[in-house]
Amino acid sequence: MGSYRLCLCYTRKFKVKEAEPPEDVRQAFKKYADGGATMSAEQFRRFLVESQGEAVASVADAQRVVDQVIHKRHHIAKFSRHALTLDDFHHFLFSADLNPPVGSEVHQDMTAPLSHYFIYTGHNSYLTGNQLSSDCSDVPIIKALQRGVRVVELDIWPNSAKDDVHVLHGRTLTTPVELIKCLKSIRENAFATSPYPVIITLEDHLTPDLQSKVAQMITQTFGEMLYYPEAELKELLSPEDLKHRIIISTKPPKEYLEAKGTKESSHSEKKDAEDDIWGNDPLDVSLARQDNKTEGETNEHSHEDEESDDCETESCQPGGPTYKRLIAIHAGKPKGGLKEALQVEADKVRRLSLSEQALEKAAESHSTDVVRFTQKNILRVYPKGTRFNSSNYKPLVGWMHGAQMVAFNMQGYGRFLWLMHGMFRANGGCGYVKKPDFLMSLGPKNEVFDPKAKLDVKKNLTVTVYMGDGWHLDFKQTHFDLYSPPDFYTRVGIAGVPADTVMKKTKKIEDDWTPVWNQEFSFPLTVPELALLRIEVHEYDMSEKDDFAGQTCLPVSELKSGIRAIPLYDRKGEKLSSARLLMRFDFD
C-alpha cells in the first residue's frame, strides 16, 4: 500500500496491483496443461521445447525448474506440490533469472584468428570522468574488466622527475595514476568474468630508458600471463589459443621517429547531441544525415591518436630490444594516404587506428578496402578529440566495416554506450563476438562485402510488448509523479545498418505501476547479424521532459524466441533490481 498527498488536505491511498498473466500466457498454460489446473514437469518440458525453442532433454531437468519456481514463490521447504499453477507459470515467464532473453554461455567458435572477432574495447580506460580534468585511476579499469571489456588503453608519460611512468591524458589537467598500479589491477581483474585474452593498447610518450623500465614492470607484473611471440606475427592467434593471456599492442619504438604529432584542428566545445539522452534520438534515420552535415570536421590525427608522438630526436631511437619484443600486435601506419594504410600485407599483420571521422571518410571512399583490411588485420576506431565530456559515437559504422576494436569511453553514458553493452551481451558476455561470415568471406571474383550495397530483407522479427512490473520496488512512490502513479510507455526498435534502423513506441498507460500494453511490432531486417534490439521505458510528463525508467539493448542474433522476461538497466548500464518487461519474440 502506498500514498500520495493531495492539496495538503487529504491523502490518496493506492495499491500496486498484482501483475495479471496476459492472454497469451493464459492460452499457453491452457494448451500445455491440457486444460487442467496445474502443469506437470513433462507438460512444462513440452512447452519449453515446442514454444520457447529450448533444448530441455529430460523431464528431470524440467522438474528442477518447476521445484525452483515453487520454492521461490512459496518459501516452504516441505511444500509437497510439484506442478505449476497458472500464477507459478506466469512467475517463471516473468523471471529474468529463470527465463532470460539471451543465453549466458560462450557458444561461438573461439578458434579463429583475433581479426575474426569484434572485441569489447575501452578508450582512455583510466579516466574517471571527462577527458580534460577528471582523475586518472585504476578503478574504471577494474570496472571495465569486470563488465567484460577485453581491450584496455593506457596513455603512458614520464612523471615530473622523469624517473617513473604515469598514466594520464597528456596535455590536460587530469591527475595521474602510477602505471604499476594500473598493471597490477589489470593482472588481478583481467579474467574475473572472461578467460579470453586482455589486450593492453599503449599510447607511448616515453624516452628509451623509461621504455625499458616499462618492459621490466610488464614482465614482472604479468609473468607467464604475458604473451609475446619470438618474431613478428604473420597471422594472429585465436582467443582460444590466448586464454588467460595478456597482450601488448603499440608502435615499435623505432617508428616514433617517423611520426609527426599533429594537433586537433578543431576544438569546438559544442555539446554532442548524442550525449543528451533526452534530446532527439541520434539513432533515428531522419537525423543521421543531418548529423553528418553538422559534425565538426577534425584532422584524423588527434592528440588521441597513438600514431603520433612528440619524440623526434635521436635519443628516442629504440628503447632496447626488450620493450619492442613485448609488443605482440604492432600498431603503425605506413607512409602515404588512407589507400596505402589499408593495404593487406601477405607476411605480417598489424593494427591501424582511425578516428571516428577518419573512419566515416574511409567508409565513403574506401568501404570495401576497409572490409578487406579487417579480414586479416586489426582496425581500432577511437572517439574524436573534441568529445571532452566522454561521449561516444555510432558504433555500427565500425562494425559494418569489420572493425574489431570500436573503442568507447566506458565511463560515459548515453544511447551509444547502451548499444555497446548490448553487442557484448552476445556470446555469453565473454568480450569476443564472432564477426558475421559475410564480413570474412570472399565472393567468386575475390570481392568482399560492400557495406553500401542495398540488400533484401533476410529475416522478420516480431516483438510483442505485453507488460512491465517492478518499478514500485526500484523507485520511490513520488519519483515519477508527486500526486499519481506513473504513465509508462515503451520505445522499441532496431539499431543496425541504415536500412534496418527504426524506433517505435507503445501507447502510454496512465496511472499504473504495472502497465499492460499488449502491442505488437514488426521489424524487417536486411542484416539481422548486426542488428540490436533497443528497448527503453519512459514515463510521460505533460509539462516537462519525460522521465527515464529503464533501458536495455539485446543482440537480435542471440534473442531466444517465445515469451521472455527482459531485465532493465539504468542510464549507466547498471541492472535495476526489479523493473522488467514481459515480451515475446518471433522470427520468420
Give me the active site residues, please.
123, 169
Q: Using CA atoms, how far apart are residues 204 and 251, in angstroms rounded to an integer?
A: 8
Determine contact, residues 70/41, Cβ cutoff 8 Å.
no
Do 108 and 428 contact (CB within 8 A), yes or no? no
Residue type, 320: G
Strand partners, 21: none
Phi, then psi, of 328 in degrees rounded to 5 = -80, -40
Distance CA 508, CA 429 (A): 33
Strand partners, 13: 3
Q: What angle do CA 270, 272, 277 make, to 5 degrees?
A: 140
CA atoms of 281 and 4, how far apart (whole Å): 33
Give the integer Cα–Cα distance in Å for 104 and 108.
12
- 231: Cβ contacts below 8 Å, ≥ 6 apart: none
Q: Which helix (H) or strand (E) holds 362?
A: helix 356-365
| Strands 10-14 and 532-539, bridge-based pairing | unpaired
> Any idea of the CA torsion for 279, 282, 285, 286, to the nearest 10 degrees?
40
CA distance readout (Å), 527 to 264, 285, 293, 533:
35, 16, 26, 13
CA distance 569 to 425: 13
Contact 561, 580 (CB under 8 A): no
CA distance 127 to 20: 46
Phi, psi of 476 (to 5 degrees): -65, 155
Please give the Cα distance from 458 to 147 (Å, whole number).
32
Strand runs labelled E in 417-531: 432-434, 459-469, 488-495, 502-505, 516-525
Q: ∠ at Cα 233 (230, 237), nearest 5°? A: 100
Q: Would you give the DSSP letter of residue 121? A: B
Spatial distance between the Cα atoms of 499 and 484, rounded to a whole number of angstroms: 41
| Helix, strand, coil in percent for the chain, rounding step 5 | 30, 25, 45
> End-to-end CA distance of the chain, in Å?
44
